[in-house]
A = this chain, B = another copy of it.
Amino acid sequence: MGEAEAKGLAAKEASRRLAHLSSDVKNRALLAIADNLVSRQQEILWANERDRAEAEASDMAPAMLDRLLLDADRIAGMAQDVRSVAALPDPVGEVFDMRTLPNGLQVGKRRVPLGVIGSVYESRPNVTVDISSLCLKSGNAVLLRGGKEAINSNLALARVLQEAAYAAGVPEGAVQMVESTDRAVVDHMLKMSGVIDLLVPRGGAELVRYVASNASVPVVAGGVGVCHTYVDRSADLEKAVAIVYNAKVQRPTVCNALDTLLVHADIAARYLPLIGREWAKAGVEMHCDEAALQILSDVPSLVLTPASEQDWGKEFLALVAAVKVVGSPDEAIEHIQRYSSGHSEAIVTEDYSVALRFLDEIDAACVYVNASTRFTDGSQFGLGAEVGISTQKLHARGPLGLRELTSYKWIIFGSGQVRP
């Protein structure tokens, strides 16, 4: 039996008791984890140093190196996130849709954990803590497989999590971290039907696609965001500058950042120079269609490139945006429907009917009117935290919080009823 399978089975075993653990014990365990992350930070930092030394030796890009870095602040931030999860209401046991049928049967649904959540993820070690704490709170065991580049950090974090949780009464085995960095482990996890109840890949588009197309276990895939913002002819241009600037610049390397800006032709000549100048200050490179190029070519100090077909539907994850002038809301909606990855799409408009049409017709996890797509996030939406963002329609869509890590069972209270 391989390591992943042995640990998966141990997680499955633990999940049976974890499902019935009281909220009190789970919350005590989460607070103990938060405390121990801080009090044992030295061993985490040492492990992280080893990862970073290896990463530097292998010439890792500075942005990736930064994602790998742990320091006292970041560990304090992780501990704070765990405390936030402890403070959230426990989803397990919630009874809903309960009603009494004409025959007297009382029928309803009770929320239950899924069982074992698997996760395959890259780079940032805080994912280890995020996913573990959300799974613990929702009564799920977890089988983690982090990236090779963060293996020492992840193992140190897992050790702290496990020891704190088990000492607080969480069934042993509830948190499992695969030690092997062999790529074959991932392939093995993808096929662990009956052990892994839900697999959540977190990482680049390539990893997510690989997992989604090769897994025989249930997967919630997402995280690839080709996000459009359409500035309508009726837009408040000041709001439109603030929203589009924020959507691109506030954190360009993430999935909910703007990729393509669509602007109505009637206001393009006024709006594009406004946003262009702001973006230029932040170093944004604009890949423009012909109409946008014509408008912007006179504006000094912009970085302009003619857009190619490859720019539409591209997730840039950088200070680059594709820009297109459209003749109507219809053209904008058509463009979005064609190129959207179903993540987050926005319109800026003061036209009530156009706003409602956009909300109706755009088929994406999150559809915005007059706000930045950067809000697509479990914490921002008030879910407390998230294990990922789903761009599929089945099971859950958008940010995956505690509730999305659960299922339900029908419970039926009878008094002797039989079916006629």
Contacts and interface: CB of A to CB of B under 8 A. Distances in A.
Interface string A104-145: 010100101011000000000000000000000000000000
Nearest to A342: B409
A243 interface: yes
A394 B218 contact: yes
Contacts of A409: 363-367, 397-398
Interface string A194-217: 000110000000000000010010
Given A395-B395, A397-B407, A419 B380 contact: yes
A6 interface: no
B239 A412 contact: no
B419 A374 contact: yes
A239 B114 contact: no
B250 A371 contact: no
B213 A361 contact: no
Contacts of A413: 369-370
A411 to B, nearest CB: 5
B412 A368 contact: yes
Interface string A386-401: 0000001111011000
B197 A367 contact: no
Given A393-B407, A394-B395, A409-B367, A107 B382 contact: yes
Contact of A419 (B246, B407, B416): B246
A359 interface: yes
Oligomer copy total: 2
A394 B397 contact: no
A400 to B, nearest CB: 12
Contacts of A239: 415-416
Given A418-B242, A418-B243, A419-B375, A408 B412 contact: no
B407 A394 contact: yes
Contacts of A218: 392, 394
Quick one: which of A239, A365, A419 has the most chain B CB within 10 A?
Answer: A419
Nearest to A359: B411
Contact of A416 (B213, B370, B376, B418): B370
Contacts of A101: 380-382
Contact of A410 (B19, B247, B397, B411): B397
Nearest to A407: B393
Contact of A369 (B375, B408, B412, B418): B412
A211 to B, nearest CB: 13
A93 to B, nearest CB: 9
A381 B213 CA distance: 36
B394 A394 contact: yes
Nearest to A374: B419
A11 to B, nearest CB: 16
Contacts of A105: 371, 375
A372 interface: yes
A87 B190 CA distance: 43
B114 A371 contact: no
A360 interface: yes
A92 to B, nearest CB: 11
Nearest to A380: B419
Given A20-B361, A105-B375, 9 more contacts: A101-B382, A105-B371, A107-B382, A197-B393, A247-B418, A365-B410, A370-B413, A374-B419, A375-B419
Interface of A: 19-20, 99, 101, 105, 107, 110, 112, 114-115, 197-198, 213, 216, 218, 236, 239, 242-243, 245-247, 250, 359-361, 363-372, 374-376, 380-382, 392-395, 397-398, 407-419
18 contacts: A101-B380, A101-B381, A197-B393, A239-B416, A243-B414, A243-B416, A243-B417, A246-B419, A250-B418, A366-B411, A367-B410, A370-B413, A370-B415, A371-B414, A375-B417, A393-B407, A397-B407, A397-B408
Ranked nearest first, the 8 interchain pairs of A and B with the lowest CB-CB distance are A371-B414, A246-B418, A393-B407, A239-B416, A374-B419, A370-B414, A366-B410, A395-B395
